[in-house]
Structure 1
Amino acid sequence: MGFDLSRRLAAEGLGTALLVATVVGSGIMADKLTDDSALALLCNALATGAVLTVLITVLGPVSGAHFNPAVSLVMRLRRELKPRDLAAYVVVQIMAGILGTVIAHTMFGLPVFTLSGAVRTGEAQWFSEVVATFGLVAIILSGARFAREALPWLVGLYITAAYWFTASTSFANPAVTIARSLTDTFSGIQPRDVPAFIAFELAGALLALVFIGWLLRPLNSSPVRTGS
């Protein structure tokens, strides 16, 4: 990357804060405007997918636009991120995610923090987070290999879809999960459910790393034939 660590961290912080502000803020707005939960989820999903597309496009060249500790961990395991950079990325992502919740609450005149009471637990939800994060990381790794210019759209469209095809509405991000525990609104998750979500998100990310690594590994050489 052509930017020093401080600028990369600033980009990660800005992107993660705006992502969470969009997730939480659009959820609050949708809940204010309609009593139809399906319509509210649609609004939430479209806003999140749209802002991801924009943020990855403009901040990706600076920091890689991870905005997600699971993605940063995968990049570290691929040796695309230094160990000290991984720790800094994760801390900034988590703190910026919390700031994003504060921003959303402040915009809508809500208390700065309100612990969520939304129950999100159980095998179906946990498995959904494995699937959601596996798909996200798989798309990032394969998209970076074959369609780098389209990667912002690939990620934005995937997350929009994953809101709908997963039982958990696709958190797929430990920093966002933590931040969403601090809002007792449409997008919240009660704090006691956060550790399990994060564990299964990381599991999905690691599974994607292994699978895509195998899937896209080129052959070292063609077999040599001898004789007639």
Structure 2
Amino acid sequence: MRNKLLIEAVGTFFLCLAALVASSPLSVAALLCALIYMGAPVSLAHYNPAVSLAFRLRGRTGTRALWSYVSVQLTAALLAAMVAGYLLGHDTDRARAAVDALSESAFTGFGVTAAVELLATFALAFVILMVGTSRLTAGNSYYGLAIALAVLGLSGTFGDFNPTMNPAVSLASSLLGPFAAIFDGLIGTKTFVTETLFLAKLAPRILAEIAVQFVGAALAAWVFRFLFPEDR
């Protein structure tokens, strides 16, 4: 289990870091493809708490492993947010947007965002279950490419809504602003207070988005089991 958790930590860290730092979804997809082939022989290369839930409901992992994976993945996301905050520094435009957003409801436009996260996470999880766990595709060597292409395609399809399809990435994205302010020496300043208040206000929305991602992954697992009841 130790090696599995270490692989999950490394993979999730670099995936989250790429999602925060990379300038193109293609870069994220390419790195994800390499990380999947790197980690799949050891941990099955989840790198995503929602995918870990899908594997649990699919019957490929146990409950204890699920909690261990998710804990490691979220910790790796936290570290990735710290590193990204250090590398990128504080974004003044983001700070201005945060100030403007403080006067709005945290759930403005949430219905559309939730629908996109549900659809995208469902599609990604279902692709992963099909190419990574199905008897129909057992022994294939294209699973990493298929998953990376799914991420790239879904990112392009829903690009205007910027779905993460991954609770770990959602967590890292939400923490980027405060960590960037900390590393820029802005603790105690108005900017840091604004970033902190913005995070506190968005926390319910972030948790709701993560819940939707888990629902999408769970639906993918249930649909898989419905379509292939013999594939246990």
TM-score, normalised to structure 2, is: 0.76
Residues 66-115 of structure 1 show CA distances to partners (whole Å, capped at 9, x for unaligned) of 0111111121222321222111111100010111111222233459xx99
1:139 maps to 2:135: no
Contiguous gaps of at least 5 residues in structure 2: 181-198
Distance (whole Å) between structure 1 residues aligned to residue 211 and residue 63 of structure 2:
20
Mapped contact 1:162–1:169 kept (Cα < 8 A) = no
Distance (whole Å) between structure 2 residues aligned to residue 64 and residue 110 of structure 1:
35
1:17 maps to 2:29: no
Query: Which gives a bigger RCO, structure 1 or 2 (Cα 8 Å, sep 6+)?
Result: 2
Which residue of the partner structure matches residue 171 of structure 1? 164
1:156 maps to 2:152: no
Mapped contact 1:13–1:93 kept (Cα < 8 A) = yes
Displacement after TM superposition at 1:121 (Å): 4.3
Residues 154-198 of structure 1 show CA distances to partners (whole Å, capped at 9, x for unaligned) of 11111111112125322111111111101239xxx9434211111
Distance (whole Å) between structure 1 residues aligned to residue 89 and residue 118 of structure 2:
35
Q: 1:181 aligns with which of 174, 178, 181?
A: 174
Contiguous gaps of at least 5 residues in structure 1: 31-42, 220-228
Percent same amino acid at aligned positions? 30
Mapped contact 1:174–1:198 kept (Cα < 8 A) = yes
TM-score, normalised to structure 1, is: 0.77
Displacement after TM superposition at 1:202 (Å): 1.1
Mapped contact 1:69–1:93 kept (Cα < 8 A) = yes
Residues 188-218 of structure 1 show CA distances to partners (whole Å, capped at 9, x for unaligned) of x943421111111111111111112222335
1:53 maps to 2:62: no
Mapped contact 1:25–1:105 kept (Cα < 8 A) = no
Mapped contact 2:55–2:129 kept (Cα < 8 A) = no
SS in 2 for 1:132: helix
1:82 maps to 2:62: yes
Task: Point out the structure with the larger helix share.
Answer: 2
Mapped contact 1:22–1:48 kept (Cα < 8 A) = yes
1:102 maps to 2:82: yes
Distance (whole Å) between structure 1 residues aligned to residue 15 and residue 66 of structure 2:
20
Q: 1:122 aligns with which of 88, 106, 110?
A: 110
Which residue of the partner structure matches residue 93 of structure 1? 73
Letter of the 2:7 counterpart: A
Which residue of the partner structure matches residue 228 of structure 2? 216
